[in-house]
């Protein structure tokens, strides 16, 4: 191959979404002999941005989307991004934006680039998604339910997000030693759809003083205040801790007995929850609500699913794991890690993306 394929990854920021870590791994591990990677994002906010910056790749702080209205000035508004793509001779623009915006596609295609987007969430509620999907050269879905969104679209493929299992490896951390305490952990962007109150209510139903909960996520949001008030109302202050946002969640996962993702069955739901995959890779037992995305990741572990929004069902699942021997829990955790290694590694994800990129841009 005499010419490298030039790829521009676009993403709003590297502050909240787990997909930012996947983009980071793709940018880091794509074959440098075949691909030349650049990144465009709206801001440099977030601690993780510094890690992305350390890759040494071109990063442009740039808004790549535009307002549609008024429609008669639309093409004028997208001239800046169109010229940017032309000047840098990008072959592919691969978007990791969560929204239904399609202005970026028009600018990219007018600029001479093929356009791919990864569908990250389960939202599909307006005509703009249909326009975006129609205009895209290719769509990457990340769970089996998303395929039905685009039943008319032949140029689509399910490519699960991948994880660096050498980084999320329990061997890098000492085992939890205090067996008298059963520690639950959840890691989430603290917004109402995440359903963290279900864990708190389930703990109240169990009334077991040896069960503790650590909540990792930005606890300055109004929803976090609601959760803290609930903890106070149920008198669980000694058992529930809000630890805020952590750049590295691995030590906290390694020091836990159970990871729970209790997302509700409404709003954006889950695309492919990487925090869940991280916990599985760390060989920690997991429970998740039975909704799209979560049930895709846990497709081989139906006993780990509970009814979304049902704190009583969750309480029963927690109690069952609490009453399981440490040896059995460890065995289950190892099964989860093996599953991740077999299905959700970053190497598998990279290989599938490389094949796709090369098929879209045939360069001799």
Domain encompassing residue 194: 170-343
Which are the contacts of 225, defined by CB distance < 8 A and separation ≥ 6?
none
**Tokens describing residue 313:** 């069902």
DSSP secondary structure, 68-116, as one string = --SGGGHHHHTHHHHHHHHHHT-SEEEE---S---HHHHHHHHTT-EEE
Q: List the CATH number of the domain containing 284.
A: 3.40.50.2000
Contact 267, 253 (CB under 8 A): no
Residues 316, 287: Cα–Cα separation, whole Å: 11
pLDDT tens for the 364 residues of the chain, in order: 468 999 999 999 887 657 788 899 999 999 999 999 999 999 888 778 989 999 999 999 999 998 888 888 889 989 999 999 999 999 999 999 988 999 999 999 999 999 999 998 887 778 898 899 999 999 999 998 888 888 778 899 999 999 999 999 999 998 766 778 999 999 998 899 999 999 999 999 999 999 999 999 988 889 999 999 999 999 999 999 999 989 899 999 999 999 999 999 886 678 899 999 999 999 999 999 999 999 999 999 999 999 999 999 999 999 999 999 999 999 999 999 999 999 999 999 999 999 999 999 975 4
**Together in a domain, 151 and 205:** no
Give alpha helix (H) positions in the chain: 19-29, 47-53, 74-77, 79-88, 103-110, 127-135, 197-206, 222-233, 250-254, 274-281, 294-297, 311-322, 326-343, 346-360
Please give the structure tokens belonging to residue 47.
């601690």
Total domains in the fold of the chain: 2
**Distant-in-sequence, close-in-space partners of 129: CB < 8 Å, separation ≥ 6:** 100, 123, 149
Residue 189 pLDDT: 87
- Return all residues near 219 (Cβ < 8 A) that are at least 6 apart: 190, 228, 242, 243, 244
Same domain, yes or no: 56 and 96: yes
CA-based R_g, the chain, Å: 22
Same domain, 112 and 197: no
**For the whole model, what pTM was predicted?**
0.90
- Shared domain check, 349 and 338: no
Same domain? 218 vs 133? no
HSE of 49, CA atoms in CB hemisphere, 13 A? 19
Let me know whether 224 and 303 are in one domain.
yes
Pairwise CA distance, residues 290 & 305, whole Å: 5
Co-location of 232 and 97 in the same domain: no
Answer yes or no: do 145 and 215 share one domain.
no
Q: Are residues 238 and 142 in the same domain?
A: no
| Pair 137, 197 in one domain | no
126: helix, strand or coil: coil
């Amino acid at each position: 191959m005499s010419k490298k394929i030039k790829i521009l990854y676009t993403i709003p920021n590297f502050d909240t979404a787990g997909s930012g870590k996947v983009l980071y791994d793709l940018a880091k591990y794509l074959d440098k002999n075949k691909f030349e990677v650049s990144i465009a994002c709206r801001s440099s906010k977030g601690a993780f941005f510094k890690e992305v910056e350390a890759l040494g790749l071109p990063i442009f702080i740039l808004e790549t989307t535009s307002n549609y209205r008024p429609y008669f000035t639309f093409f004028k508004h997208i001239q800046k991004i169109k010229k940017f793509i032309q000047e840098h001779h990008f072959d592919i623009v691969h978007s990791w934006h969560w929204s239904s915006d399609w202005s970026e596609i028009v600018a990219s295609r007018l600029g001479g680039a093929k356009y791919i987007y990864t569908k990250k969430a389960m939202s599909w509620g307006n005509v703009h998604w249909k326009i975006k999907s129609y205009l895209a050269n290719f769509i990457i879905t990340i769970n089996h339910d998303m395929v039905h969104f685009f039943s008319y679209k032949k140029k689509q493929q399910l490519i699960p997000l991948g994880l660096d299992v050498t980084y999320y490896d329990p061997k890098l951390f000492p085992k939890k030693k205090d067996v008298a305490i059963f520690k639950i952990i959840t890691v989430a962007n603290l917004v109402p759809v995440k359903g963290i109150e279900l864990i708190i209510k389930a703990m109240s139903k169990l009334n077991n003083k040896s069960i503790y909960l650590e909540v990792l996520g930005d606890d300055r949001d109004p929803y976090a205040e609601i959760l803290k008030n609930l903890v106070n109302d149920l008198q669980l202050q000694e058992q529930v801790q809000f630890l805020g946002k952590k750049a590295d969640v691995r030590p906290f996962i390694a020091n836990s007995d159970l990871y729970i993702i209790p997302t509700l069955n409404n709003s954006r739901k889950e695309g492919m929850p990487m925090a869940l995959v991280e916990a599985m890779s760390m060989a920690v037992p997991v429970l998740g609500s039975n909704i799209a995305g979560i049930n895709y990741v846990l497709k081989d572990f139906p006993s780990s699913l509970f009814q979304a929004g049902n704190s009583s069902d969750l309480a029963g699942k927690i109690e069952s794991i609490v009453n399981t021997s440490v040896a059995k829990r460890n065995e289950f955790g190892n099964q989860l890690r093996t599953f991740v290694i077999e299905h959700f590694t970053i190497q598998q994800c990279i290989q599938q993306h490389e094949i796709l990129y090369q098929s879209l841009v045939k360069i001799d």
